[in-house]
Structure 1
Amino acid sequence: MTLGRRAWQAIEPLHGFIYFVPEAQQRFAALGLEAGAGYFASRSAAFGEASAETVIATFYNFNPEFVRRSMVGVWEKVTPDQVLTARLEAADAALRRGLGDLIDSDALVETAALTRKAAEAACKRLEGRPLFAAHATLPWPTEPHLQLFHAQTLLREYRGDGHLAALLTAELTGIEALVVHAATGYLPAKALRGSRQWSEEQWSEAVAGLQERGIVAQGEELGLTEEGRTMRQRVEDLTDQLAEPAYAVLGEAGVNRLAEVGKPLSDAVIEAGLLPYLKKK
């Protein structure tokens, strides 16, 4: 397992919760941003007044029409700074709820320092990383738990931009990437299709196209062929490879330490229910 994948698996929940917690949904709603608008605006606000096209390009697998509908009038209601402030306030409140006493722990301070070191190393490699680069311009928070959130946000977008490059190399469209992901069995196809707002007809067309390419198996049950599994592994391997520059500065010992001190923090936010798609222990 690469350094980047080991770190990502250990501490990704310390960023991923922001897309699910009521603290974020409530604050975005208070700004007049419901559902998709809150998600798209909060994650793209680092660009400034991002267009729907910018969101489509950098978020990759959402139905473009869903993005366009959601982004109509967003920047007439709020400014990017207002959305970014709301997001950080939501992260603060949710982490305090999820981490409890761990929020003042030495483990959190050390995890924040290690992730910041990796994130700052990644900032030296901006090329081809638009969503990461946009977030790299944001100021660092002062409190350790928010520094950790910001650092992991940077590392998540750094990895994510590399993942999009890998998907493009595999010649997968946004919906095709979702179909392949669903075919691994990690998440239900219905959930992926619904959250990205693809119709059943669009989904079926994508499945048929991937079957013609020999990537998805024939039949009613969605699954990958041997060629599909090989292609999927190539995508994952390339994603891991492209994430490595961020973690090389920590070395193996540093990443091992990051996983050691950071995973209990991730486990805590999962146990607190901040990520509903992950089972509690």
Structure 2
Amino acid sequence: MKAARFAWRRLEPLHSMVYFVPEARNRYTELGLQGRAGYFASRGAALGRASAELVIATFYNFCPDVVRGALPAAWDAVTPEQMLVARLAGAGEALRRAKIHELPGLDEIICLARRAAEAACEHPQGRPLFAAHAALPWPDEPILQLWHAQTLLREFRGDGHIAALLTEGVGPLDALVLHGASGLVPAAALKLSRAWPEEQWAATRERLHERGLLDGDVLSIEGSALRQHIEDRTDALALPAYGVLGEEGCERLAELADTFGRAVTDAGLLDRSGFLAALRASA
């Protein structure tokens, strides 16, 4: 299980950069969408003309009012098919900027990641956002095949993570406040990107204190234990994808992913400043 988690975490930058790079934002802007509208429409396009309620349900932790402010209005400007093309094009431009296509081991890492992603495709039940992306065709370009594979693995794991949160009674804003208290991501960045009103954030924080999950601004012992339990459960739910590789295959994928993930980071593709500035401008 540990090797599978390392494989996912180390390769995750190769997918998640699409939410931050200017190449993707520029493509959405050309179609008439900016800020969160571009994000909701591009990630939700695999679902078709997704309603706000469907995106609220599957994305889980965004303020519902913000989602409703973007959808379904975005579909008056673009089609889901246009957004899928734009997203893939933006991802490809960014990855080529990072010279991912020049890294040694590309063929091998594609083979491993795609095997895991295709194994996940045999288990779509209960994973709606993953299933929608799994129905998309595989790209022809190698670096986009790798991006698509990690996209599927991310959404497969993400749907499982939501199931684990629900099982433990951790709601959307609960999850964000606990995440911010973990110190892994600044709470200010989560507040800006997920756009919950400050009074709701404060009320949730107080409720989590009463549950014994927070100690001041950080996680309590109980809060840390709950987060770890949820992460462990999420890892277990992701095993139908990674199990096909076996321990040795997961270790090899993690080894290769370290190089590819670092290349994305070193090229600045995870720089959130432009993304956050766009959110502030569209607020």
Instruction: Please report the TM-score for the alignment, with normalisation by the length of structure 1.
Output: 0.94
Query: In the alignment, what sits opposite 1:242?
Result: 237
Query: In the alignment, what sits opposite 1:48?
Result: 48
In the alignment, the residues of structure 2 paired with residue 112 and residue 164 of structure 1 have an alpha-carbon distance, to the nearest angstrom, of 27
Matches within 5 A, 1:55-74: 55-74=55-74
Query: In the alignment, what sits opposite 1:87?
Result: 87
Deviation at 1:105, TM superposition (A): 4.1
Which residue, 129, 147, 150 being the options, matches 1:149? Answer: 147
| TM superposition outliers: structure 1 runs of 4+ over 3 Å | none
Query: In the alignment, what sits opposite 1:167?
Result: 165
In the alignment, the residues of structure 2 paired with residue 210 and residue 182 of structure 1 have an alpha-carbon distance, to the nearest angstrom, of 12
Query: In the alignment, what sits opposite 1:130?
Result: 128
In the alignment, the residues of structure 1 paired with residue 17 and residue 223 of structure 2 have an alpha-carbon distance, to the nearest angstrom, of 30
Query: In the alignment, what sits opposite 1:267?
Result: 262
Deviation at 1:263, TM superposition (A): 1.5
What's the secondary structure of 1:231's corresponding residue?
helix
1:168-217 deviations in whole A, cap 9, x for unaligned? 01111111100010111111111111110012111100001111111112
1:93-147 deviations in whole A, cap 9, x for unaligned? 000001x2x4044411211111000000000111110000000000001111010
In the alignment, the residues of structure 2 paired with residue 161 and residue 176 of structure 1 have an alpha-carbon distance, to the nearest angstrom, of 17
In the alignment, the residues of structure 2 paired with residue 269 and residue 233 of structure 1 have an alpha-carbon distance, to the nearest angstrom, of 27
Query: In the alignment, what sits opposite 1:225?
Result: 220
Which residue, 174, 180, 183 being the options, matches 2:181? Answer: 183
In the alignment, the residues of structure 2 paired with residue 28 and residue 200 of structure 1 have an alpha-carbon distance, to the nearest angstrom, of 29
In the alignment, the residues of structure 1 paired with residue 40 and residue 268 of structure 2 have an alpha-carbon distance, to the nearest angstrom, of 23
- Which is worse superposed, 14-23 or 188-197? 188-197
Unmatched 5+ residue regions in structure 1? none
Conserved in 2, the CA contact under 8 Å of 1:11 and 1:259?
yes
In the alignment, the residues of structure 2 paired with residue 274 and residue 70 of structure 1 have an alpha-carbon distance, to the nearest angstrom, of 25
Query: In the alignment, what sits opposite 1:13?
Result: 13
Among all aligned residue pairs of Structure 1 and Structure 2, give the percentage whose two residues are the same amino acid: 56
Query: In the alignment, what sits opposite 1:111?
Result: 109
Query: In the alignment, what sits opposite 2:75?
Result: 75
Conserved in 2, the CA contact under 8 Å of 1:141 and 1:147?
yes
Conserved in 2, the CA contact under 8 Å of 1:3 and 1:247?
no
What's the secondary structure of 2:219's corresponding residue?
coil
Deviation at 1:262, TM superposition (A): 2.2
In the alignment, the residues of structure 1 paired with residue 189 and residue 6 of structure 2 have an alpha-carbon distance, to the nearest angstrom, of 26
Conserved in 2, the CA contact under 8 Å of 1:179 and 1:203?
yes
Deviation at 1:63, TM superposition (A): 0.4
Unmatched 5+ residue regions in structure 2? 274-283
Deviation at 1:277, TM superposition (A): 5.3
User: How many residue pairs get matched?
Assistant: 273
Deviation at 1:166, TM superposition (A): 0.7
Aligned-residue CA RMSD in angstroms? Answer: 1.3
Deviation at 1:244, TM superposition (A): 0.8
Deviation at 1:226, TM superposition (A): 1.5
1:30-58 deviations in whole A, cap 9, x for unaligned? 11111100000111100100000000001
Instruction: Please report the TM-score for the alignment, with normalisation by the length of structure 2.
Output: 0.94
- Which is worse superposed, 27-36 or 104-113? 104-113
In the alignment, the residues of structure 2 paired with residue 58 and residue 17 of structure 1 have an alpha-carbon distance, to the nearest angstrom, of 20
Which residue, 179, 200, 205 being the options, matches 1:207? Answer: 205
Conserved in 2, the CA contact under 8 Å of 1:109 and 1:145?
no
